Chains A and B, each alone.
Chain A
Amino acid sequence: MPAAFYRIGAIVIALVLIILIALASGEAPLSIATALWNGAFGTFDQIGRVGSTLTVLLLCSTGLIYTFNAGLYNLGIEGQISLGAIAATLGLRLFGEALPAPVAIALAIVLGMAGGMLWGLLAGALKVFGKISEIFAGLGLNFVAQGLAIYLIFGPWKRPGVASSSGTEPFKDTLWLGTFGQTEATPVGLALALIAIVATIIILRGTYFGLKLRAVGRNLRASYILGIPATRQLLSAFVICGALAGLGGAIQVLGNFHRLTPTISGNLGFLGLLVVMLSSFDPRLVLPIAFFFSAINVGSLQLPLVLERVDSSISGVIQGMLVLFALIGRGLAEVRGKN
Chain B
Amino acid sequence: MKVELLHIHKHFGPREAGVRANDDVSMTVEAGTIHGLLGENGAGKSTLVKMLSGFITRDSGTILLDGRAVEIKTPTDAIRKGVGMLHQDPMDFPPLTVLENFMAGKAHAGIFINRRADANQLKSLSQQFNFTLNPNAHVNELTVGERQQLEILRLLSLGAQTLILDEPTTGISAFQKTSLFAALKLLAQQGKSIIFVSHKLEDVEALCDEVTVLRRGKLIGTTRVPCPPSQLVEMMFGKVLATPTKPQTAGEQMALQIQQAVIKTDTFDLQIDHLNVQRGEVIGLAGLEGSGQSEFLLACAGVARYHSGSLNIHSVDMTHKPYRQFLEAGVCYLPADRLKDGLVAGLSISDHVALRTPQRSVFINHAESLSTAEKAISTFNIRGRPESHVERLSGGNQQRTQLALMPNPLNLILMEHPTRGLDIESTIWVWQQLIARCQQGTAILFASSDLDEIMQYSDRVLVFSGGRVAPAVAATQLNVDTLGQMIGGKF
Interface, chain A (partner B; CB < 8 A): 206-209, 211-212, 214-215, 218-219, 221-229
Selected contact of A221 from candidates B341, B354, B362, CB within 8 Å:
B341
**Residues of B contacting A221 in the complex (Cβ-Cβ under 8 angstroms):** 340-341
**Residues of B contacting A225 in the complex (Cβ-Cβ under 8 angstroms):** 303, 333, 335, 341-342
Query: Are A214 and B362 in touch, CB under 8 angstroms?
Result: no
Query: Are A219 and B362 in touch, CB under 8 angstroms?
Result: no
CB distance from A243 to the nearest CB of B (A): 18
Q: What are 11 A-B interface contacts by the 8 Å CB criterion?
A: A211-B355, A212-B355, A214-B346, A221-B340, A223-B344, A226-B342, A226-B352, A226-B355, A227-B324, A227-B355, A229-B324
**Residues of A contacting B242 in the complex (Cβ-Cβ under 8 angstroms):** none
A215 to B362, CA, bound (A): 16
Asked if B227 is at the interface of the complex by the 8 Å CB criterion, the answer is no
**Residues of A contacting B136 in the complex (Cβ-Cβ under 8 angstroms):** none
A208 to B363, CA, bound (A): 6
Selected contact of B362 from candidates A208, A218, A223, CB within 8 Å:
A208
Residue of B nearest to A209 (CB): B362
A211 to B356, CA, bound (A): 11
With A208-B364, A214-B347: A222-B340 Cβ-Cβ less than 8 Å: yes
Query: Are B363 and A206 in touch, CB under 8 angstroms?
Result: yes
Asked if B323 is at the interface of the complex by the 8 Å CB criterion, the answer is yes
Selected contact of B323 from candidates A212, A218, A219, A224, CB within 8 Å:
A224
With A219-B345, A221-B340, A228-B355: A207-B324 Cβ-Cβ less than 8 Å: no
Asked if B359 is at the interface of the complex by the 8 Å CB criterion, the answer is yes
Given contacts A226-B352, A227-B356, 12 further A-B contacts (CB under 8 A): A206-B366, A209-B362, A211-B351, A215-B355, A218-B344, A218-B347, A219-B345, A219-B346, A221-B340, A221-B341, A223-B344, A225-B333
**Residues of A contacting B25 in the complex (Cβ-Cβ under 8 angstroms):** none
Query: Are B344 and A215 in touch, CB under 8 angstroms?
Result: yes
Selected contact of A222 from candidates B323, B344, B356, B362, CB within 8 Å:
B344
CB distance from A279 to the nearest CB of B (A): 16
Asked if B195 is at the interface of the complex by the 8 Å CB criterion, the answer is no
CB distance from B359 to the nearest CB of A (A): 5
Query: Are B344 and A208 in touch, CB under 8 angstroms?
Result: no
Q: In chain B between 322 and 364, which residues have their CB closer than 8 angstroms to a CB of chain A?
A: 323-324, 327, 333, 335, 340-347, 351-352, 354-356, 359, 362-364
Query: Are A222 and B341 in touch, CB under 8 angstroms?
Result: yes
Query: Are B343 and A222 in touch, CB under 8 angstroms?
Result: yes
A206 to B362, CA, bound (A): 9
**Residues of B contacting A219 in the complex (Cβ-Cβ under 8 angstroms):** 340, 343-346
Q: In chain B between 354 and 404, which residues have their CB closer than 8 angstroms to a CB of chain A?
A: 354-356, 359, 362-364, 366
Interface, chain B (partner A; CB < 8 A): 303, 323-324, 327, 333, 335, 340-347, 351-352, 354-356, 359, 362-364, 366, 405
CB distance from B422 to the nearest CB of A (A): 20
**Residues of A contacting B356 in the complex (Cβ-Cβ under 8 angstroms):** 226-227
Residue of B nearest to A219 (CB): B344
Query: Are A208 and B354 in touch, CB under 8 angstroms?
Result: yes
**Residues of A contacting B333 in the complex (Cβ-Cβ under 8 angstroms):** 225
Query: Are B364 and A206 in touch, CB under 8 angstroms?
Result: yes
Selected contact of B345 from candidates A207, A209, A218, A227, CB within 8 Å:
A218
**Residues of A contacting B345 in the complex (Cβ-Cβ under 8 angstroms):** 218-219
**Residues of A contacting B340 in the complex (Cβ-Cβ under 8 angstroms):** 219, 221-222
CB distance from A63 to the nearest CB of B (A): 20
Residue of B nearest to A223 (CB): B344
With A215-B347, A225-B335, A229-B324: A207-B303 Cβ-Cβ less than 8 Å: no
**Residues of A contacting B352 in the complex (Cβ-Cβ under 8 angstroms):** 226
Residue of A nearest to B334 (CB): A225
Residue of B nearest to A206 (CB): B363
Scoring A207, A209, A215 by chain B CB atoms within 10 A of each residue's CB, the highest score goes to A215
With A218-B347, A227-B327: A207-B362 Cβ-Cβ less than 8 Å: yes
Residue of A nearest to B303 (CB): A225
A218 to B339, CA, bound (A): 11
**Residues of A contacting B327 in the complex (Cβ-Cβ under 8 angstroms):** 227
Residue of B nearest to A227 (CB): B327
A138 to B352, CA, bound (A): 32
A153 to B484, CA, bound (A): 78
**Residues of A contacting B346 in the complex (Cβ-Cβ under 8 angstroms):** 214, 218-219
**Residues of B contacting A212 in the complex (Cβ-Cβ under 8 angstroms):** 355
Scoring A215, A225, A228, A229 by chain B CB atoms within 10 A of each residue's CB, the highest score goes to A225
Residue of B nearest to A215 (CB): B344
7 cross-chain pairs, A with B, having the tightest CB-CB distances, nearest first: A219-B344, A218-B346, A215-B344, A227-B327, A222-B344, A218-B344, A208-B359
**Residues of A contacting B343 in the complex (Cβ-Cβ under 8 angstroms):** 219, 222
CB distance from A203 to the nearest CB of B (A): 9
CB distance from B101 to the nearest CB of A (A): 26
CB distance from A233 to the nearest CB of B (A): 12
**Residues of B contacting A228 in the complex (Cβ-Cβ under 8 angstroms):** 355
A223 to B363, CA, bound (A): 19
Scoring A207, A209, A211, A214 by chain B CB atoms within 10 A of each residue's CB, the highest score goes to A211
Residue of A nearest to B343 (CB): A222
Residue of B nearest to A205 (CB): B364
Residue of B nearest to A214 (CB): B347
**Residues of B contacting A207 in the complex (Cβ-Cβ under 8 angstroms):** 362-364
Query: Are A222 and B324 in touch, CB under 8 angstroms?
Result: no
A219 to B340, CA, bound (A): 8
CB distance from B110 to the nearest CB of A (A): 38
**Residues of A contacting B347 in the complex (Cβ-Cβ under 8 angstroms):** 211, 214-215, 218
A225 to B347, CA, bound (A): 15
A223 to B344, CA, bound (A): 7
**Residues of B contacting A222 in the complex (Cβ-Cβ under 8 angstroms):** 340-344
**Residues of A contacting B303 in the complex (Cβ-Cβ under 8 angstroms):** 224-225
A140 to B43, CA, bound (A): 53
A226 to B344, CA, bound (A): 9
Residue of B nearest to A218 (CB): B346
CB distance from B399 to the nearest CB of A (A): 14
A226 to B356, CA, bound (A): 7
**Residues of B contacting A226 in the complex (Cβ-Cβ under 8 angstroms):** 342, 344, 352, 355-356, 405
A207 to B224, CA, bound (A): 67
A260 to B79, CA, bound (A): 65
**Residues of A contacting B359 in the complex (Cβ-Cβ under 8 angstroms):** 208
**Residues of B contacting A209 in the complex (Cβ-Cβ under 8 angstroms):** 362
A211 to B324, CA, bound (A): 19
A277 to B373, CA, bound (A): 32
**Residues of B contacting A223 in the complex (Cβ-Cβ under 8 angstroms):** 344
**Residues of B contacting A224 in the complex (Cβ-Cβ under 8 angstroms):** 303, 323
Residue of A nearest to B322 (CB): A229
Query: Are A211 and B341 in touch, CB under 8 angstroms?
Result: no
A222 to B337, CA, bound (A): 10
A85 to B366, CA, bound (A): 40
A86 to B323, CA, bound (A): 41
A223 to B351, CA, bound (A): 12
CB distance from A316 to the nearest CB of B (A): 31
Residue of B nearest to A216 (CB): B344
CB distance from A156 to the nearest CB of B (A): 43
